[in-house]
Every structure is written in structure tokens, then in C-alpha cells.
Amino acid sequence: MAEEKEAPDYLKVLYEENATMFRFFLTWRQRLLPGFFAVLAAIVLGYRWALPNAPNMSCVLPFIGAGASALFWALDLRNRQLYRHASLAGSKLESSMGLAETGFYGTYREARSWIRHSVILSILYLGCCFLFLLLGILTCAGIFR
């Protein structure tokens, strides 16, 4: 029977650090979504108030909302790149430690499908961006005044 080799200590340290970074990037993703909804709510409430009280401002607010939506999409996109790099690094470390078939990152990378949080969040952020742009154009054209 072949003996299993124990991974060198430096690989274990790298693996632990990689897991910490992976969780860190996912935590940032969790923080982006409520932040987006808070900004979205503030802009929508400001728009509702501005329509009767400050019509000139009501034309500007939807474009600010479109910019904020695009910014949150870009932040999520960058964060997505970072945790995917951490996942790839973790998968390579697992291979180096002889855990290619049973490790978390290898299994995580194989289980991906087209229905992912990334797709859903991109639809949310970019959809809101498009709707805000449309609302801004319609408001500036005088449709909602």
C-alpha cells in the first residue's frame, strides 16, 4: 500500500493564506450588494422628492443612479476576478498537496454552471444602469414633469 506524503509546511501556510483571501473577497461581495441597495434607495427617494420640489434636480438624479449602478458593477467585476484568481491558486495548491480530486477549490471550480451569482448580479447592476438611463432621458424630455 502506498503511503500518503504529508504536504510541506510552506504549502499548508500558502493554502491557509489563500483560503483567508478567498473569504475576504467573498465578504466584499456580500458588502457590495446591501451598499448598492442603500445607494439605490437614496437615489430613488431623492428622485421622488425632486420631481415636485426641484424639477431641475430630478433630471440629474437618474444619471447619478446610472453611474452608481455602473460603478457597483465594475467593483463586483474586479472582486470577481480576484476571488477567481484565489480559487485557481487554491486549486493549484491542492494539486501540489495531492488533493486535486478531493480539495475544496478543485470541487468548487468543477461545480460552476452558467447560473451563477456573477450573472445574476451583472443583470441587476447593468439592468438598473439601463433603467436609470432611460428614466433620466424620459425625465429630461419632460415626460415625468
Note the residue count of the chain.
Answer: 145
Reduce the DSSP state of residue 101 to 3 states and report it. Answer: coil
pLDDT band for 2, please (50, 70, 90 cuts): very low
Query: Is there a contact between 144 and 138 (Cβ–Cβ < 8 Å)?
Result: yes
C-alpha distances in angstroms, 45 versus 69, 126, 134, 136?
16, 20, 17, 15
Query: Span 124-144, mean pLDDT?
Result: 94
Q: What residue spans of the chain are helical by DSSP H?
A: 9-53, 55-96, 104-110, 117-140
Q: How far apart are CA 10 and CA 17, in angstroms?
A: 11
Q: Where are the domains of the chain?
A: 9-140
Model confidence pTM above 0.85 = no
Per residue in 86-131, pLDDT (tens digit) is 888 888 888 888 777 777 777 776 666 777 888 999 999 999 999 9
